[in-house]
Amino acid sequence: MSVKGWSGGDVARLVEQAEEQIAAVTAHLWPDTDAVFGPTVTTGGALVRQVRVGDDTLCAKVRPAGVALSAVVRGEHGDLTTVLAHDTAGKRAELTIREADHLRALAAYSSLPVATPISLTGSVLFTPWVTGPSLAARLQENPTYLTFLLRELMDNLYELHYNPPDPLRQLAARSALPRVLTKASWRRPDHLRFVYPHDAETREAKALLASLSARLRRLASRLDPLLFARSGVAFGNLSPAHVLHPDLSPRATVLAPALERGGKLVDCGSLLGHLHLLIVASPQPARGELVDGVERWLDGQLGSTTQEQWRGWLAVILIIWAATVYEQVVTALTLPADGLPLGSVTASLQARPMPALAVLDVLTRQLRRCDADAALIATLAALAGNPD
């Protein structure tokens, strides 16, 4: 069923309301301080704003209606009046509450550096503002660091992936398949907004998205849910933009957890899917250097497993990788270009979705026809700009 999305004007009003909500909660929590507010940005399905209170710099995050922003602007939770009425009535901020719970648990029961919540008041989550370059920024500055930085990150996540404390296991989502696979499987590309709705590339993208949706459902049906249930805990939706290195510290601070079962399988697949988007948006020779780094890192994984284990591991990783790319592209094409402060990756996907989709086409076609090794080789060649 097609969903009618919100207008740019309604989205702009939603952003204004979120900014007013952040300002009101800030004044309530710090009544004797003149707060200074930075610009609002979209990240991870939420609206985020920097707030300076005295000597402290905070991150204020709000999700209208308590759900992902893309679902709101698609109209899945009603029109603007309905959403604002629910927020005014104190509707629970489900995803924000979950994020706060996960951050507190990680701070208490793991050695992973996180931005521990300061307050969750009126559906607004306040955490310390983490400074330092993101993994994405470091890779754009020097693509040859990729293998080293991925190894560091996975070392930092080792405990969570292989020996998570029981409280973190209890918090991890118990869905049969990873969230991104579930979302990509039911998400239909029938509510999209293209910058150039009538050009040939847009028509090609629409047709390809319909094929990819069907392919991903078939690929997801191959997976055994017990594989994820028996694994450790995944940080969830692991993205280079959410991995920050304060003062270039090797101990990265990771933002916006969404803990779930699946451990390293889920986090590797998600991270590679986000790197896919970073690579296709990069110029040469950085694009080729990033692909070389991914290949070297994957070779390191092969060295620690048997050939049979590698093939099984790789097949799962590639399916999660594909679902992550599809979900990110569809989400980007859901959000309106006007009225919403978009991040650079989202804006780039809106303007030109085909580079990412063309490589995703190679990945999913090869996964359907060949083994995982052949699919990986073809996908890396396409990512590098050498489809043949």
Mean pLDDT, to the nearest integer, of 176-202? Answer: 80
Looking at per-residue pLDDT, the higher value among 238 and 70 belongs to 238
pLDDT top residue among 65 and 273? 273
Q: pLDDT confidence of 383, banded at 50, 70, 90?
A: very high
pLDDT at 161: 96
Q: Report the chain's mean pLDDT, rounded to a whole number.
A: 90
Strand-pair category, 124-128 with 56-62: antiparallel
Q: How far is CA 374 from the centre of its chain?
A: 26
- Number of CB atoms found within 10 A of residue 68's CB: 19
Q: Are 273 and 323 in contact (CB under 8 A)?
A: yes
Identical fold, 8-128 and 135-383? no
pLDDT for residue 242 is more than 50? yes
Pairing of strands 253-254, 56-62: unpaired
Asked if residues 188 and 132 have their Cβ atoms less than 8 Å apart, the reply is: no
Selected from 3.20.20.70, 3.30.530.20, 3.40.50.1820, 3.90.1200.10, the CATH number assigned to the domain covering 135-383 reads 3.90.1200.10
Please tell me the CATH superfamily of domain 8-128, with its number: Phosphorylase Kinase; domain 1 (3.30.200.20)
Contact predicate 267/161, CB 8 Å: yes
Q: What confidence score (pLDDT) does residue 51 get?
A: 98
Q: What is the mean pLDDT of residues 188-216?
A: 83
The residues spanned by each domain of the chain are 8-128, 135-383
Among the residue ranges 71-75, 222-226, 321-325, 384-388, the one predicted with the least confidence is 384-388
pLDDT in tens, 87-129: 654 555 788 999 999 999 999 999 999 999 999 998 999 999 9
Q: Residue 3: is its pLDDT beyond 80?
A: no
The per-residue DSSP string of 105-151 comes to HHHHH--S-----SEEETTEEEEEPPPS-BHHHHHHH-GGGHHHHHH
Q: Are 82 and 52 in contact (CB under 8 A)?
A: no
